[in-house]
């Protein structure tokens, strides 16, 4: 799991210090997590995921807290895509949420609307 966190942090171009600050942990503690010397709590994993803008569920699976399930959620798929930059992920999710909000104004739950 620590290697996964490190690779996600590096691909997001976030320093260890920045992620530690965002997650509310010390630099040495985060370093120990990345090296596999410490097992963080679910709460710390959630804060790390937030700092990396990835799914907390992905970290829970890596930590053995949750069983892996097929990725069916658009948000999880976007956040897990290693080919997208963090900015691209953010923009895609903002667009997706705006479309969902717009669609919710015009359709009952469970119904789709035809494009106009």
Rounded mean pLDDT for each run of 10 residues along the chain, 116 residues in total: 89 93 94 93 89 82 70 76 85 84 59 43
pTM exceeds 0.85: no
Q: Are residues 57 and 26 in the same domain?
A: yes
Instruction: Note whether residue 111 is domain-resident.
Output: no
Predicted pLDDT at 59: 78
**Based on the structure, what is the number of domains in the chain?**
2
Give the domain range for residue 80: 74-106
CA distance 19 to 25: 9
Cβ partners under 8 Å of residue 96, min gap 6: 74, 75, 78
Q: Report if residue 90 sits inside a domain.
A: yes
Q: How many Cβ atoms sit within 10 Å of the Cβ of residue 52?
A: 22
Domain-located, residue 7: yes
pLDDT of residue 105: 62
Quick one: 7 and 57 in the same domain?
yes
Asked if the structure places residue 69 within a domain, the reply is no
Record the tokens describing residue 77, joined without a space: 């798929």
For residue 116, being part of any structural domain is answered with: no
Mutual angle of helices 16-23 and 27-34, in 10-degree steps: 110
């Amino acid at each position: 799991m620590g290697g996964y966190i490190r690779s996600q942090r590096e691909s997001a171009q976030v320093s260890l210090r920045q992620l530690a600050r965002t997650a509310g942990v010390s630099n040495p503690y985060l370093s120990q997590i990345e090296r596999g010397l410490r097992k963080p709590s679910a709460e710390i994993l959630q804060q790390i995921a937030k700092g990396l803008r990835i799914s907390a569920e992905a970290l829970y699976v890596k930590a053995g807290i949750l069983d892996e399930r097929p990725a069916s959620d658009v948000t999880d798929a976007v956040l897990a895509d290693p080919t997208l930059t963090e900015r691209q992920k953010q923009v895609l999710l903002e667009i997706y949420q705006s479309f969902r909000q717009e669609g919710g104004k015009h359709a009952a739950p469970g119904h789709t609307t035809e494009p106009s």
